[in-house]
Structure 1
């Protein structure tokens, strides 16, 4: 398909992950956030790669160009977090977002998860369309499970059953 590989996060990927996520959050969407505001990024194995969770990266020419995380929140449910794709590899011709999501969904299904929940902001319009096209339905904040790790910036929530 392309020379972009989707694989599990491993030690040594930390700076590449931050290098993809922070510029998108700050420059594209104007979210005043730092790596220190996101302690999960400094503890990906413990935070994501435990229980039924996982964390994957898209790699092109040895550089991380995309990320997606799955946080086990109990009750056979998980939170989709940190889905970011660098601008230069976005779009159908690369298929990075779809491949990241497919990898996460295959893992979730194999792990016996029943539902994936995510939160996003009103600003991420392309993300809303992507999630809706991929079987996620919008749910009200009051319908979130108590175990869902809600971020202060999140205003829209989606659910996909498996």
Structure 2
């Protein structure tokens, strides 16, 4: 299976909403709706205008993964919407890793030095993934003032993109 990663724009909103809400609601029972995530209907405004981006991973034309970057300060960004469809997860395809590497390359090319993210403590595999990729845990109260908090998140990480291999 060949993975194709590309930047996404508003024309991918419906596919993204389907991918993300299915994982959030059905797989992990996170009480979140599309109304809680208006950014998914305004990808270009929300992510790109501030200097971030949104990427999707496709296999044979099907959207199977996503990752986004919100640039919230001159040299800082937040990782958002990191999702891979259940049947496409794992080391064999390495989709999450490829998505993260695309985002980190983008940060380096665009002068973003530190990325932050919030996640939910029940997402154990996600937490292990971030820690394997050298993200360090940070207390909520130590996050940058402008970090865009999501109400569901209760575990936070950061990474200096220039210190990773």
Q: How many residues align?
A: 161
CA RMSD of superposed structures (Å): 1.0
| Gap regions ≥5 residues in structure 2 | none
Give, in whole Å, the separation in 2 of the partners of 1:82 and 1:92.
Answer: 20
TM-score between both structures, scaled by the size of structure 1: 0.96
Give, in whole Å, the separation in 2 of the partners of 1:58 and 1:123.
Answer: 24
For residues 25-71 of structure 1, the C-alpha deviation after alignment (integer angstroms, 9 at most, x for no partner) is 00111112111220010111111112331100001121211010000
Give, in whole Å, the separation in 1 of the partners of 2:15 and 2:59.
Answer: 11
1:137-156 to structure 2, matched below 5 A, reads: 137-156=136-155
Give, in whole Å, the separation in 2 of the partners of 1:109 and 1:49.
Answer: 16
Give, in whole Å, the separation in 2 of the partners of 1:114 and 1:90.
Answer: 28
The answer to whether the 8 Å contact 1:56/1:100 transfers is yes
Aligned to 1:122: 121
Give, in whole Å, the separation in 1 of the partners of 2:147 and 2:29.
Answer: 25
| Gap regions ≥5 residues in structure 1 | none
Superposed displacement of residue 150, structure 1? 0.4
4+ residue runs of structure 1 moved beyond 2 angstroms? Answer: none
The answer to whether the 8 Å contact 2:10/2:43 transfers is no
